[in-house]
Amino acid sequence: MLLCHAGAHRLAFLAHEVAAIASPEGRDAASARRAFRMPDGAARVLLSATGGAVGVDTLEIEAEAHPVLPAPPVAVAASGGSLRGFVLVQGRLWPLMGLVDFERFLRGLMGGA
């Protein structure tokens, strides 16, 4: 699992959904900050196997498996279906996002702006 930050906000992604991690230079990545109504920015970009890209401020790898707690349907709908649930890691809840769906959601936010 990858634990990421977008500003002060936490996000988690399943490692098998991330094909590569890259620097943001020259990448057309949707910034995860958009989900929190913050200006775009990223220090790292998570790339999916299908070519999608999400920029995050920080990331760390969590090697231990954690159970996924269900998300309320209203939160799943508000995230465009990208919220998979929550994981409890390091004593904090992390929203677990689907990388491809989250990128699509972020790009939709950009189009609506």
Q: What is the pLDDT of residues 90-109, one digit of tens each?
A: 899 999 999 999 999 999 98
Determine the pLDDT at residue 57.
98
Average pLDDT over residues 25-47: 94
Determine the pLDDT at residue 51.
86
Over the stretch 40-91, which tens digit does the pLDDT of each residue have? Answer: 999 999 999 998 899 999 999 999 999 999 999 999 999 999 999 999 998 9
Taking residue 6's Cβ as centre, other Cβ atoms within 10 Å add up to: 22
Determine the pLDDT at residue 112.
47
CA dihedral 107, 53, 24, 64 (to 10 degrees): 120
Distance between CA atoms of residues 84 and 75, nearest Å? 10
Where do the DSSP E strands lie in 1-113? 2-6, 9-13, 20-22, 30-31, 44-47, 53-56, 58-61, 83-89, 92-97
Average pLDDT over residues 19-23: 96
